[in-house]
Amino acid sequence: MKYKIAFLGPQEFWRDEYKDLFTEIEKICDLDYIVYKTKNFDDIMDIYNKKNVYYDGIMFSGLIHYQMVKQLEENKNKPFKHLNFTQRDFYRELFKTYLNEKDFNFSRCFIDFLRKDNNYYDLYSMISENNTPYTLKNYPEIENETDLKKVYDFAYEKQLDLWENKKIDISFTRDYFIHEELLNLGYKSKYLVPSKQSILESFNELIKAIDLYKLDENRVSTCIITFNKSEFEDDDFIFKIESILSKMDEVINESFNKNGIYNISIFKQNLKIEIQTTKENLIKITQNYTKSNLLTDLVSELNYNFNIGWGIGNTNVHATKNAINANKLSAKNGGNCMFVIDNLENIFGPILPVENQGEINQNPIVDKISDKIPLSKMNITKVISIIEERNSNKISAEILSEYMGITIRSANRILSTLCKYNIATMEEEKKESNKRGRPKKIYIIDFARVL
């Protein structure tokens, strides 16, 4: 069976010259074409969010929209890629321009996609300094910027300056909307598109990524549900345990059926419930590790305090081990929450009942912050709670890891995002004389900077 893939791109790709290519691509996948007619990122994101659920994978025509979606997809649940414009494609286009434009002067053009992170396609190792084109290398202030939207906006403004000062005769761009705007202003622009060979290779790479994703979806997933120790303070509780477990079994089955979750095995074992399923189902159960109708149903129907841990593994033993450790994290956080530990030992949680999640999402300050930075409302709320609980806005990766029940690596990723958006600034803690090793990195958090 062929995978269903959506291709998001501008009108350029619907020209007749690509007809044979897409006929070839349709032999290896079921392809839908989605034309976007705006450069507004919110509109592109809206298209992506609406269409993503219907496809096995998404292909973007360019890097900028791909990167912007990737930054906001903290736990991306499907493969998506962009068409790769290779060095081979770049030099082919340059050679064609050189042959077709007899007055072409390499030093009088602007190329907006050559950046430090792609080593300027090795261009500067091949030409003399007095014959170099204008690129972002001419502007050190933007050279290390990683946000491509800012890079392309900057490049567009610089191109306009160069045109107005009559310093260039042609612009080469990978952004279709910049190309259209330059043409509308009467400037000469060339929108560079990957070769047909590169486009076909990009689709084959996406199909391989989907293959790997499907294998990952089918990984074993185990859940262990136990009662929080607070329940055992009731002397009669142990005598009611069998009837409670039977009711739990009933509630779990009803919850899964109600939410369209199938292919689940449920086992009652002594003082616990164990569930066996796949990673694909777990993503549905936890709504991509964000919230849980199952937990909501258990708490509302039974009114007990549960510890719930999910483990994903390469084998049943591996999944069960991770589920046990995730269950312990739930207990450590007071119960009535879920944790997930995946096959790479990444930790997700605490995952709360749906109504609790709603309370978090209704916080207007959290809403404002989440609109401006690529962190989930849940993670923003947790960081704010840690600051309030400790009565200090100085946080290290170790503190974040301990309070949130996540790995140091995940904590560093959150702090890195906060630094990028100027919410966190770093200061180094002085190393104590009787301790070895590097000083800890301490971050000062101030969310007011984006409000």
Q: Sign of torsion, CA 312 318 322 327?
A: positive
- The model's pTM: 0.59
pLDDT on residue 269: 79
Q: Which residues does residue 185 pair with via DSSP β-bridges, in sequence order?
A: none
pLDDT on residue 363: 62
Over the stretch 226-285, which tens digit does the pLDDT of each residue have? 988 777 767 677 778 888 888 889 999 888 888 778 778 888 877 889 999 999 889 888
CB 225 within 8 A of CB 267: no
pLDDT on residue 127: 82
Q: Which residues of the chain have pLDDT under 50?
A: 74-75, 357-361, 432-433, 435
* Segments in 309-390 forming alpha helices (H): 316-332, 354-361, 364-372, 377-390
Contacts for 161 with CB less than 8 Å, ≥ 6 apart: none
pLDDT on residue 358: 47
Half-sphere exposure of 60 (CA within 13 A, CB side): 21
Dihedral-angle region of residue 104 (phi above 0 means left; psi in -120 to 50 means alpha; beta otherwise) = beta
What's CA 319's distance to the chain center, in Å?
24
